[in-house]
Structure 1
Amino acid sequence: MSSTVGNTGLAYARIWHLVDAKGQVLGRMSSQIATVLMGKHKPIYDPASDCGDNVVVINAKHVEVTGRKREQKLYRKHTGHPGGLNAVKYKDMMEKKPEEIIRKAVSGMLPKNRLRDKRVGRLYIFPDTENPYEANIFKAHDLNLPSQAKSTE
């Protein structure tokens, strides 16, 4: 006998979210995207189940970073061979592959388990405004809004 009650199929339905990265701070935006990919915004969230939604990010080449990260941040990878360390600067990566910057930031904020690759697979990043998923978008996020903190007035 199943212990689930109600319209569980509707709760597990994947919704498409649109995020405009223009003028957004990379870290803050990535943490909110990771939350949606994991499904933490849903009442049925379970860390062991994959109940997150799809996220489409547009204007990836207009994302911002704070401080001196534009000059100092490095993306490193190693080939596995001696002397095989490759490092790419943020500004070089932004010119060549701006979508990889957001993908790496979101991937680093997801839990390191078997579901990570599936969750990152539901993240679609485009350097400009045009994308082939316009018809699927259900919810557009405006991340410029201040947090819903209660005022003490």
Structure 2
Amino acid sequence: MSTQIALTLMGKHKPIYDPAADCGDYVVVVNARHVEVSGRKAEQKVYYRHSGYPGGLKEIPYARMMERNPSEIIWKAVSGMLPKNRLRAVRLDRLLVFPDEKHPYLANITKAYDTKIPLQCSPIE
């Protein structure tokens, strides 16, 4: 799912794609609380951050991150798949992740991706 989101944020699905231009679309992700990972990632995956001070390394296991902020898991996965350049922050601003079904952008969504792999796109009637 994260790879499809990254491609849409970059605009690679459009015929006018240019690596130096920002031509991507907004992406709204709902039900982030119900994300499942394959293998033993749920037990083994750890998220790291550092405060910049000596001894400031923080470790957060996947299970605790899922309880506290499930939308952060998707945000970090997509962030890691985008190119590391000046457009990265702009593209991530267009990623809107919601932990549940409710969100204020229901009227603006033009395409819905199915849960099947590979992801299928269908227009909303």
1:141 Cα offset (Å): 1.1
Task: Say whether residues 1:93 and 2:38 are aligned partners.
Answer: no
Matching residue within 99, 104, 116 for 1:132: 104
1:81 equivalent in structure 2: 53
Q: How does 1:61-80 map to 2 (within 5 A)?
A: 61-80=33-52
Conserved 8 A contact 2:27-2:94: yes
Whole-angstrom CA distance in 1 between matches of 2:87 and 2:74: 18
Conserved 8 A contact 2:113-2:119: no
Report SS of the residue matched to 1:40: coil
In the alignment, structure 1 segments of 5+ residues that lack a partner are 1-28, 149-153
**TM-score scaled by length of structure 1:** 0.76
Residue identity over aligned pairs, in percent, reads: 67
Whole-angstrom CA distance in 2 between matches of 1:68 and 1:133: 34
In the alignment, structure 2 segments of 5+ residues that lack a partner are 121-125
Aligned length: 120
1:40 equivalent in structure 2: 12
Superposed CA RMSD: 1.3
Which structure has the bigger radius of gyration? Answer: 1
